Amino acid sequence: MLFGCGKGSAPDGKLALRHVRKQVAFGPRYPGSAAAKQARAYFRKQLVGAEIEAQEFTAVTPAGLVRMANLFAVYPGATDEILILASHYDTKHLAIGDWDSANDGPSSSGLLLELARAIAARHNLFTTYIVFFDGEECYVKWGPRDGTYGSRYFAAQLEKQGLLELVKAMILTDLVGDKTLNIGRDIKSSPELLKLAEESAAALGYGGYFFKYDCRGLEDDHTPFLERGVPAIDLIDFDYGPNNSYWHTKKDTVDKLSAGSLQVVGDVVMEMITRLEAVSGK
Ligand SMILES: [Zn+2]
């Protein structure tokens, strides 16, 4: 059987950027905020042809108990094997004042909506989970118990359901909208997926945007999956502005982003999926 065919089965960077602007317009989307709820409602509206589930939970944070909600859509494939495409949609909540965030949260979530549209339009070998994590950002100090609240909860639930061993790959995107796209090599990501990403980017002529530097000691929403033995990769551009100075500041605004960068990452993710299918489909 031939997988991958289907009209409209490619993500569109321009539409992804439009989804970024929509999220920003809701205002800061920290866990429990009205704007976060609006963002989830917006995601729901875009996710056509899938079963959608809101996964609500209470997180124990240094700021007390916080109600959070992951949102995910499942697109059935030809097999039970699972592919997870993920992004966090929350924004950092700080006492010094919130900001909208454009690259951190919205860029990868906007792209994820486009990846979902592409997945819905093609024949998929893998049952594909499109997951929007809440609570990626920490409240006080980043660590195993502060930050990645949503992904830790989601991974634990998959484990409880006995589905973890079915997960073929988890592909996380984070900070992928920077005009000067520069995806780092997260050395903790699964080596086979790093190789796949590198080969996919090269095949599309996008090799120059990938892996010019290493990310060391990086933890992100893929970490709870890696810890459970699931092959996972974080496609992250941790080089946002001079010396990463736009990251977690008010400088993280939409004018720093481009549809072209979102297009590159979207195309590479789809190429990775096609190649994973070719190896697994036999
Ligand atoms: Zn952040």
Mean pLDDT for back-to-back runs of 10 residues, the chain (282 residues): 71 98 94 96 93 96 96 97 98 71 96 97 96 96 94 98 97 98 98 98 98 95 98 97 92 96 98 95 60
Q: Is 84 within 8 Å of 169 (Cβ atoms)?
A: yes
CA of 121 to the centre of ligand 1 (A): 31
CA distance 197 to 268: 7
- Are 91 and 39 a contacting pair, CB within 8 Å? no
CA–centroid distance, residue 58 to ligand 1 (Å): 20
Compute, in angstroms, the gap from residue 91 CA to the centroid of ligand 1.
Answer: 7
Question: In whole angstroms, what is the distance from residue 78 CA to residue 45 CA?
Answer: 25
DSSP string, 71-128: EEEEE--SSS-EEEEEEE------TT-----SIIIIIHHHHHHHHHHHHHTS--SSEE
Question: Residue 80 Cα, ligand 1 centroid: separation in angstroms?
Answer: 33
Give the HSE-up count for residue 101: Cα atoms under 13 Å, Cβ half-sphere: 28
pTM over 0.85: yes
**Sequence-ordered alpha helix ranges (H) in 161-241:** 191-203, 223-226
For residue 278, the surrounding DSSP H or E stretch is helix 259-281
CA of 216 to the centre of ligand 1 (A): 17
Q: Distance, CA 270 to ligand 1 centroid (Å)?
A: 25
pLDDT of residue 7: 65
- CA 132 / ligand 1 centre spacing (Å): 14
Q: Report how far ligand 1's centroid is from the alpha carbon of 4 (Å).
A: 33
CA of 248 to the centre of ligand 1 (A): 6
- Domain map of the chain by residue range? 13-281
**pLDDT in the model for residue 78:** 96
Tell which CATH classification among 3.40.50.740, 2.30.30.100, 3.40.50.10490, 3.40.630.10 matches the domain 13-281.
Answer: 3.40.630.10
For residue 23, the model assigns a pLDDT of 96
Write the DSSP assignment of 121-184 as a string of letters.
Answer: TS--SSEEEEEEES--S-SSS-BTTBS-HHHHHHHHHHHHTT-GGGEEEEEEEES--BSS--EE
- Ligand 1 centroid, distance to 6 Cα (angstroms): 35
Q: What is the largest CA-CA distance in the chain?
A: 55
Model pLDDT, residue 1: 55
Q: What are phi and psi of 26, to 5 degrees?
A: -70, -20
